[in-house]
Amino acid sequence: MKKSLLLIYIAFTTLAVQAQDYGTEKDMPLFFEQLKANLDFPLRWQHNKKMKFSQWKKKARQSVMQTLQTPPPSSGFHLQMGESEQREGYSATKCTFNVSDWCRVSAYLLVPEGKGPFPAVLMLHDHGAHFSIGKEKMVRPFGVDSTLVKDADEWCVKCYDGQYAGDYFAQNGYVVLSVDALFWGDRGRKEGVRYDSQQALASNFLQMGSSWGAFIVWDDIRSAQFLATLPMVDKKRIGCLGFSMGAHRSWMTSALSDVIAASANVCWMNDTEHLMTLTNNQNKGGSAYAMIIPSIRNLMDYPDVAALACPKPTLFYNGLRDKLFPVEGVNAAYQLMREVWQSQHAEEKLVLKSWDEPHFFSKAMQQGTLQFFDKWLK
């Protein structure tokens, strides 16, 4: 009898040791499914329908803003215009302004010919693990080294079908502002570009009570506010547009800033269920750091935050062959957002479309976004 009990004890002890041989797989905790199941997104609109929509929106936005921590101080933009180049139907000017009291940034400002004020679009560049350029991904650069021009042109072909989205919109009557996010272009790493530095940068922000992702959001909100101060801009007709990480930046800005009247968001929408898997790019870290807001998933999922823009005109395009964003997750997110706009009788203001494209912002997609903004901002 004692021997049997001893064998049972040894068997259970062995099993316990084997179960602790490792705790992660592909850099995910083995209990990641339990973590996801524990997320109930308490501030999702569908869970708060007993509230007035305006009350829910105010409460949810305030809660999301709290996850961004304290914004950097700002005591004025102090715009300074630089060199300019005349292009077909518009001018391109380099400028600098204070996005906060801590950071003065360089930007491209495109202004159409004719008499304003004009509608305007804040152009938010992608991530792409390509840091040597930022604003130049959206606006064709000038007055810079030929190596940078070549870099921008090649990126424009790779991701934007050979058409700079910012220049395309300026040609069609929009003021365009494009600014580097922190770590890209002129705001890059002093020691030179290095992919792994993203992790260190994000860690250093966290250790000082903030986050890199939140800092990017604050910069984008301030850039929208700056755009509204320009005399050639109609402050009631300001939109934002972004591709990839730029789309994440775009719908975050629209959700949290009343300056933005409409947004177009290309190739960045999904839900946590389908992004956090053992095979998705999101779980590799690295590039994800620029879009991580600590604790926000304890409140709302990605489409829930984007839905804070309702009832604004809002467009989402995703690619059916986009390996970064599973189609099932895109469809689930679309359905959640569709329900919100429908609840406010604003479904005609929401455009949700999947294209037979990879992770790419084609000329046809750019034309679709232009038509969308023409409908709602002109």
Domain boundaries, the chain: 40-377
**Residue 90 pLDDT > 90:** yes
**Residue 317, φ and ψ in degrees, nearest 5:** -115, 140
Alpha carbons 268 and 191: distance in angstroms, whole number = 30
Identify the CA nearest to 67 among candidates 376, 300, 371, 351.
300
Helix (H, G, I), strand (E, B) or coil at 44: coil
What's the pLDDT score for residue 20?
A: 54
Residue 282's pLDDT band (cuts 50, 70, 90): confident
Joined together, the tokens standing for residue 182 give: 């922190």
Structure tokens at 314: 């809002």
Q: Alpha-carbon distance 175 to 220, whole Å?
A: 16
* Mean pLDDT of the region 184-203: 88
Greater pLDDT, 10 or 122: 122
As a whole number, the mean pLDDT across the chain is 93
Report the distance separating Cα 108 and Cα 85, nearest Å: 11
**Over pLDDT 70: what percentage of the chain?**
95
**Architecture of the domain defined by 40-377:** 3-Layer(aba) Sandwich (3.40)
pLDDT 10s digits, 294-337: 999 999 999 999 999 999 999 999 999 999 999 999 999 999 99
